[in-house]
Chain A
């Protein structure tokens, strides 16, 4: 299957700083990318959907000014957690898919964010 690479895999940052997570589709063009958050022992919660070249669509309850999503190219989307706080500590996962009705979404390996 296609490969989606997420970087970094782990990051520790101080409260009040910002952290950027990258999601790259290595061998296909991703017209749509999704960002999820996963709490321990919990399911994946969709945060936002982004289409290349347009603004991301955020799910209800997700602060768009705190979780900045940029999908500037067909192979790269970034999630920036601004002014991070300990409660933002979580596992963040991206997925990417091409256009088309039945195309599969491929997942990155996730990023473990710890805010201290």
Chain B
């Protein structure tokens, strides 16, 4: 079984400030971890993913995340927030494999103040 915990439902930062969105996971096997972004009334866009190898993963739009097995975490960060980063962010886990399904966290709304 697998699960994802995203604490809090809303994060607000000032433009130019650090963005930190937290994600903790539970998985019975080595996990594959993902961060997705969703803009209103749109589907999901992959920001980045961890499968194997380097634990610090860089994604699109300046985002990165670090897989920490000891903490079962995969927090998303961006050094400097931009207004266009305002969106819904979902962390997800899968157990790999051809048919593997994603289990999503409940999502976090990121607001960026001018």
Q: Which residues of A contact B (CB under 8 A)?
A: 1, 4, 6, 9, 31-32, 34, 41-44, 46, 49, 51, 91, 93, 95, 99-110, 112
Determine whether B96 belongs to the interface, using a CB cutoff of 8 Å to chain A: yes
**Which of B37-45, B61-69, B77-85 is found at the contact surface with chain A?**
B37-45
In the complex, whether B107 has a CB less than 8 A from a CB of chain A is yes
Which residues 74-109 in B have Cβ within 8 Å of A in the complex? 90, 96-99, 101-107
Residues of chain B at interface, number, CB under 8 A: 23
In angstroms, Cα B109 to Cα A41, docked, is 9
Q: Are B104 and A44 in contact (CB under 8 A)?
A: yes
Nearest A residue (CB) for B88: A41
Interfacial chain A residues near B49, Cβ < 8 Å? 104
Chain B residues with CB under 8 A of A1: 46
In the complex, how many angstroms separate the beta carbon of A25 from the nearest chain B beta carbon? 13
Collect the chain A residues with CB atoms within 8 Å of residue B32's CB.
Answer: 102
Whole-angstrom distance between the Cβ of A45 and the nearest chain B Cβ: 8
A49 to B101, CA, bound (A): 8
Task: Select which of A43, A102, A108, A109 is within 8 A of B90 by beta carbon.
Answer: A43
The yes or no answer to B73 lying at the interface (CB within 8 A) is no
Which of A4, A32, A112 interacts with B98 by CB under 8 Å?
A32
Q: How far is the CA of A15 from the CA of B99 in the complex (A)?
A: 34
A34 to B100, CA, bound (A): 10
Output the least CB separation between A23 and chain B (Å): 10
